[in-house]
Structure 1
Amino acid sequence: MTHTAFEQTLAEAVALARLAPSSHNCQPWAVHFDPVIHCGYLAIDNRRKLTGLPSLEREMLLSCGIFFHFLEQLICLRGYQLHWRWCDEQEQQVLAGEDRALIRFMPGPEQAHQATAFATLSEQLQQRHTVRSAYRNTQLSEQQRNELSTVLKPYPVTLGIYYQQTHGKTLAHLTQTYAGLDFANKAAWRETYSYIRFDERRQYEDGFYLHNLFGPVSGGFKTFFKVAFHPHLSGLNKLLRLPTKMAQGLAELVETGPHYLALNVSKEGDEALFRAGLGLGALWLRLQQWGWAMHPISVLVQHDSAREALAASLSQSELPVFFARFGEPEQSGSPAPRRHWQSILVSDTHSLTKSTPTQRG
């Protein structure tokens, strides 16, 4: 599916945008493009979406927003402006298979390429990893704080930034209190466990290795973790107090900060969450430009009780949709498995309707 200049650009952009972060690295996105009418859809691949918790629907929409932000920026630097709009309820069902359409897009006329900027962005995306290890105590300057706020201005989100000195202990306590919920919900932990890849010699298209969570680990540790945390042995790991120890380790990491950020959406609904994901993608790239990284603390926004406690601790009237610690990492993160771009980009000439997208407002 690379017969025209734009189709080549789209394939190239998908191959880089697929490096976007997603919960459990499930990569729930699909891109359908009709080379005949030159229109396409970004969709959620319902065969790949997470279902262990109702709140994961929110995270899938954020992830697709991040993916599309990367995709749109890459395509723009290759000389095409994308015009897109949110799909109505009827249009969400037009795609073949089980994919749920989110937005419909169409490229504008080809313009000048920005080769240097494209190469820079490509390198940034390839170097971007979720870093769950320690960060340096590099302080966020007022200029940097203003930059992050400016980056998010086009999007329906409110950004809150907090510091280890003022919130570290409270947030660590919340993490210690609620992190065990990841293990208490059997369906959620069964789903999480299914994405852990224990054999680093094999190539996978999704999920994560233990070293993505803990850094380098021994073969003995991998074997212990595989057995002790197996969903069928929940009684054993509770007896050994393993969930409590895991929660304590995460809490200690959270307490170190050095900075935290929370995002709230200013509107309700799927479209607002998707657009919030666009903003999150822009924010993540800005941090990457500084050589900084983020570590989402998802457990604090995936469960209602934890989310309410988090909002109260941050003195927020609205419930956050995303929460993370961020800063300058002491060491870079490691790559996680990725889908091949050809499994994401689908040539679809049968089910796309012929209505024309309007330019994003």
Structure 2
Amino acid sequence: MTPSDARSPFREREFTDALRHAAGLAALSPSSHNCQPWALARLESRPARRAAADLLGTPDDDGHVYLALALDLRRQLTTLPGHFVEMRVSCAAYWRMLTRALAAQGWTTVAGRAHEGRDLLPARAPVRSWPQDWSLLWTAALRRGGGPAESLTAFRVAAHARHTNRGPYEAAPLPAPLLGELARPRPDADAGAVEVRHLASAAEREAVAGFLARHGGIDYSHPAAWRETHAFIRWSPAAVRAHGDGFPAPLLFGPLTRARTVARRIALAPPVMRLLCRFGYDRSLAAGLAETVRQGPAVVAMSFPQGPPGVADAFAGGARIADYWLGAARAGLALHPVSVLMQHDELRRALQAELGISGQLFFLSRVGRPLTAYPRSPRRADAAACRTV
């Protein structure tokens, strides 16, 4: 393939179509509070391509296409220290699903680089169209070549099946071979960057459930944290359509009559929640979540063995979450993350000590066979997170 062939109208249209399809599947990725903090740029202008080629050490020829992933600072959660890692891991899960969907269409990543802090692409070249509220996380070069890395149809089915299910799970133990398969990294993953552990014995599940019952109410009793969480509850179909993110009330509480919707809305309003927490409402809510953990078959815990992660580590973590969740969906399993214990650093450290987990725990979730179907969380339009620079 010559450079002129690579930049032919047909080749350009081929990648545009592949990227559009991949971005639609990547938009189904999980994120804390379903805030969808990712932002994707296709680097097309001469300054942007030159900057990317310089960063990655790739030839600035017509055979490469360049993408950049950023954290949209307008959409990130910021209240708690633990959100810093969560936002980057959420973006990384999106990137993993995007690049797997592209690889399934024959587009291979040939180079990539993590960016720490405010290492922005415009600092390398006058890329005037780069949004100032996008913080660059990853830049990559891709080429067309080789066969599909996996079945696009199978990937699409798994991506659509993957979503959070907050309902009850079957109590029957999950087969050890299945858990072992889920814990194994894919061949293209950084095997040493993340440790995956299943807490499947009654004693291990009780340890997590008991800890959650004692401490999980902090999400409701911490005024700033609850204000941020509450802001993502969508109380009407119109609000769901307008925002395309967050938690529709039926996903949190099940079907609600108009009267019960009003009652819930009043009870969960931050000023009312502060009052109710004085009477133990936060502990009651935590106890209910703890019981779902206690009755399920397993909890999956993921940690960074080397401690606090950089961006590259966070990307390995997000990739493992995406791979694990897609594998679980293929096996007919569901997940329900228990994020509250990850977002408060003091709780995370105490839980790690109780479970004997070293490094930094970054993902904790119920996993099992759901007893009831659960609708998917809303998503923004595919194009909302993408632009060309």
Task: Name the TM-score, length of structure 1 as normaliser.
Answer: 0.90
Question: Matches of residues 31-110 of structure 1 in structure 2 within 5 Å?
Answer: 31-36=40-45, 37=49, 38-89=65-116, 91-92=119-120, 94=122, 95-110=130-145
* Aligned equivalents of 1:146, 1:234: Cα separation in 2: 42
Q: SS of 1:4's equivalent?
A: helix
Structure-2 residue corresponding to 1:358: none
Per-residue CA distance 1:68-100 (angstroms, 9 max, x = gap): 111111101111112342234464353422111
SS of structure 1 residue aligned to 2:361: coil
Mean Cα deviation higher: 328-337 or 281-290: 328-337
Task: Work out the CA distance in 2 between the residues paired with 1:160 and 1:227.
Answer: 39
Paired AA for residue 6 in structure 1: F
Contact persistence 1:70–1:281 (CA under 8 A): yes
Per-residue CA distance 1:27-74 (angstroms, 9 max, x = gap): 000100123443120111111010121111111111111111111111
Q: Does 1:167 align with 2:204?
A: yes
Q: 1:322-348, CA deviations, whole angstroms, 9 ceiling, x for partnerless residues?
A: 111101111222111111111111111
Q: Which has the larger radius of gyration?
A: 2
Q: The residue matched to 1:108 in structure 2 has which SS?
A: strand
Please give the alpha-carbon distance, in whole angstroms, between the structure 1 residues aligned to 2:274 and 2:311: 38
Question: Amino acid of the residue matched to residue 195 of structure 2?
Answer: T
SS of residue in 1 equivalent to 2:144: coil
Aligned to 2:4: none
Sequence identity percentage: 29
Q: Please give the secondary structure, in 2, of the residue aligned with 1:324.
A: strand
Which residue number in structure 2 is paired with residue 207 of structure 1? 246
Q: 1-side partners of 2:331 and 2:162: how far apart?
A: 11
Which residue in the other structure is 1:142 paired with?
A: 176
| Cross-structure match for 2:3 | none
SS in 1 for 2:139: strand
Give ranges in structure 2 of 5+ residues lacking alignment.
1-10, 50-64, 123-129
Where in structure 2 are the equivalents of 1:260-275 lying within 5 Å?
A: 260-267=299-306, 268-275=309-316
**Shift in Å at residue 192 of structure 1?**
0.4
Asked whether the equivalents of residues 292 and 329 of structure 1 are also in contact (C-alpha less than 8 Å), the reply is: yes
Task: Mark the CA change 1:234 to 1:40 in structure 2 (over 3 Å): closer, same or farther.
Answer: same
Question: How many residue pairs were aligned?
Answer: 346
Further displaced range: 35-44 or 182-191: 35-44
Q: Which amino acid aligns with 1:101?
A: L
| 1:201 to partner: Cα distance | 4.6
Give distance in 2, aligned partners of 1:107 and 1:218.
Answer: 50
- Asked if 1:345 is matched to 2:373, the reply is no
TM-score where L is the length of structure 2: 0.84
| Secondary structure at 1:321 match in 2 | strand
Shift of 1:270: 2.4
- Contact 1:129-1:332 within 8 A present in 2 as well: no
Select the residue among 302, 324, 339 that pairs with 1:283: 324
Could you list the per-position Cα deviations for residues 179-203 of structure 1 after superposition, in whole angstroms to 9, with x for gaps in the alignment? Answer: 1211222111111000000003541
